[in-house]
Structure formats: structure tokens, C-alpha cells
Amino acid sequence: MADKIVANDDQEKEQHKKSRLYTTQLANAGNFSGQPSKAAGHIWGLAQRAVCKSAYRTSRPRGSAEVHPVDWHILWEFVKPQLFALLGAVVLVRALSSGARVFEYLSLEPPFPQTGCGRIPDKSLTGWVDFMNVTFCYPIRPGQQILKNFNLIIPLSKTVAIVGEPGGKSTVASLLERFFDPSSGVIMLDGLDIRTLDPSQRTSN
């Protein structure tokens, strides 16, 4: 089976290429959305100014120093955008704080390599999965065994349903996707330990 593993030297380069493309598209989207927003703001401001000026001239008697209800309306029309801008700034600060937490998680390094490991050639990949004496505890609950000496064979082109009470079913899928590694035992894909294989191959098939 060892001859079925091939090196994947271009995988990391492809990942960097996609990252640069994402960054470029994000910058272009910001420029594209920012310019129309500025133009809309200027047009809205000019329109409000014209409306207020017209109302002021048509409603106020000449030489009158009395405060007219239209004066309050005009004041509100000028203050309202500033209030909305202030509320928008509060929302923006909250969004930036939430985004910072998201990017904090995105910047975390995986505990094991995501690229550059061995790969099974697509023409040779059958998808035979074998859980062999797998025991697993979640890192936050090291004293509680979720799986103990678990064995499961998923043959080629077969659909297997895991049913039962809560506890362990989703863990099997998590271990197969290698979100975690077993505490003991081994998970085989086509006769090869998944810890020696490139994780991107499992997620793409």
C-alpha cells in the first residue's frame, strides 16, 4: 500500500494562490461598495438641504423672529444624519470587535499539517474506511471516554448509518475528518493511516 502515496508539492502553493486571490477580491469589493455609498451620501445631503431651504423660505413671514414649527423640522433634518452616523459608528465598532474574534480563530495554527503530506492517487482511491480499536476522549474531558476499543468497517461504495443514543456518533465523523486524533487505535483509509495522508484529500472526496 505504501506505493499508493505520492508527494503533493504543489498543494501549499495552490493554497497561497487562493489566499492572495481572496485578499484581492475583498479589496476590490470594498472599493466598489465605498464609492457608490459616498455618492449616495452627497446626493442625499444636497436633496435634504434643498428641501429644508425651500420650506424655510415659503413658511416664514418676512421679518418674523418667531420660532416656527418648520424651524424645528429643519433642525431635525440636519441633526438626523448625525444621529444615524453615530448609531452606525456604534454598530461598526461592534462588528469590528466580532470580526477580530473571528480572525483570531482563523489565525490559529492547526495541531497537524494541512498540506504537504502523502496522497492516494485519485485513480487508486477506493474509500475503504477501517476504525481499528479506536479509543477517544475529548481534550476538555480527558477522564470521560467517548469511544473505547471501537471498530467499524465502511466498505467500498456502501452507506453506513450509525444510530443510537446521544454520544459518540458525531465523534466518529469528527475523527474521520481528523478534527481530532484518537487517544489510541488507528483509522485507516484504503489501508493507510489517515495521519499520514493529506487532510485536503478527504475533504475533497
Distance of CA 55 to the CA centre of its chain: 50
What integer pLDDT is reported at residue 59 of this predicted model? 56
Predicted confidence (pLDDT) per residue in 14-57, tens digit: 556 556 665 665 565 555 445 555 665 666 666 666 666 665 55
**Section 101-122 average pLDDT:** 70
Q: Is 178 inside any structural domain?
A: yes
The domain in which residue 153 lies consists of 129-203
Q: Which of 72, 106, 140 is the last residue of a domain?
A: 106
- Asked whether the predicted pLDDT for residue 151 surpasses 90, the reply is yes
pTM: 0.47
Number of domains in the chain: 2
Q: Is 1 inside any structural domain?
A: no
